[in-house]
């Protein structure tokens, strides 16, 4: 089984991946780690700020890792924001039944009420450089982009509107 986790910044993708790893013992691939390895090794001139270009650059690699894991009957969590909205088009019926897709997104109302709590947890799993320019507006716009993009592609969104911890517990209760 492949668990594909995506969503806007600060939605807890890495936290969810870590919790699934702990609960189900599935290894996970952080697309951010792949990104930084390719950037730091000089294999690309892209920078961490080139989000759209990074999706186009990273997705073909990630897509083939997913196919290889499925072909080898291996479980894998793949998490990161560099997953295109139309990702399903890259897989046929040999692969799709083995992929569980999760897109985490927060409502504007939740972000507005919980902004300090959200940013207070930004380094729970991995150390982040604090983004002092992050605002309620920017975070809301980023979440809306993910919500609209994946919904327009026909995907379901795990919408966080009130109780973050309960939402994550419910996801962990699913059989992967």
| Strand 2-7 with 99-106, pairing | parallel
Looking at per-residue confidence, does 174 or 143 come out higher? 143
Average pLDDT over residues 115-134: 64
Reported as a pLDDT band with limits 50, 70 and 90, residue 131 is: low
Predicted confidence (pLDDT) at residue 8 exceeds the cutoff of 60? yes
Q: What pTM was estimated for this model as a whole?
A: 0.89
Least confident of 65-69, 73-77, 126-130, 139-143: 126-130
76-120 pLDDT, tens digit per residue, is 999 999 999 999 999 999 999 999 999 999 999 999 998 887 776
The span from the CA of 172 to the CA of 56, in Å, is: 30
The pLDDT of residue 175 is 65
């Amino acid at each position: 089984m492949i668990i594909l986790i995506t969503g806007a910044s600060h939605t807890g993708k890495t936290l969810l991946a870590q919790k699934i790893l702990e609960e189900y013992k599935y290894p996970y691939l952080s697309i951010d780690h792949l990104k930084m390895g390719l950037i730091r090794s000089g294999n690309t001139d892209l920078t961490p700020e080139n989000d759209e270009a990074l999706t186009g650059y990273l997705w073909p690699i990630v897509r083939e890792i997913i196919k290889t894991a499925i072909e080898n009957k291996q479980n894998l969590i793949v998490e990161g924001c560099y997953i295109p909205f139309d990702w399903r088009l890259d897989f046929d019926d040999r692969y799709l039944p083995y992929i569980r897709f999760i897109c985490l997104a927060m409502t504007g109302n939740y972000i507005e009420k919980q902004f300090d709590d959200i940013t207070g947890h930004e380094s729970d799993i991995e150390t982040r450089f604090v983004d002092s320019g992050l605002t309620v507006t920017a975070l809301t716009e980023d979440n809306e982009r993910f919500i609209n993009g994946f919904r327009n592609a026909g995907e379901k969104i795990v919408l966080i509107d009130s109780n973050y911890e309960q939402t994550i517990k419910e996801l962990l209760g699913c059989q992967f």
